[in-house]
A = this chain, B = another copy of it.
Amino acid sequence: VESSFVHAQRVARLATADANGCPHVVPICFAFDGSRFFSVLDEKPKRVADRGLRRVRNIQENAKAAIVFDRYDEDWSRLGFVLVRGRAILLPPGEGRHDQAIESLRARYPQYGSMAIETRPVIELTPESVTSWGHLG
């Protein structure tokens, strides 16, 4: 149930924290290979290099991360979420798992087809705990 709920979501939210425990959260597109979650740094902010992105700095300082997958509905009996907590690392381009992640992301999101994401770092989150709440059906 949790796995099919997660797969059905098009967007999730990734929370990280810096070395001082200051949290940060952004929406992400993601792929899930059945054991790990992948998200690519597709944004190209004009003034910020990859290493300057807060989520990247946070992961380098503190690997602990969380992703929430949720559904909102005005019928609150249909609300539900799955919270995955674990450890995140950055996969550089050229690594085997990086290339698989890019393939999975392109399979889920045709929008990535025209973007050179194969040259971009991937965030890989390995779950350590999964909790869920509400209605996931």
Residues of A within 8 A of B (CB): 10-11, 13-27, 43, 45, 62, 64-68, 70, 72, 74, 76, 79, 81, 83, 85, 111, 133
Secondary structure call for the A interface: strand
Apart from A18-B21, A25-B68, 5 more pairs, CB < 8 Å? A13-B25, A17-B21, A17-B23, A20-B64, A25-B25
Give the CA-CA distance A19 to B70 in the complex, in Å: 26
Are B24 and A15 neighbours in the complex by a CB distance under 8 Å? Answer: yes
**With a CB–CB cut-off of 8 A, which chain B residues contact A27?**
68, 70, 72, 79, 81
Are A17 and B22 neighbours in the complex by a CB distance under 8 Å? Answer: yes
**With a CB–CB cut-off of 8 A, which chain B residues contact A18?**
21
A107 CB, nearest partner CB in chain B, Å: 15
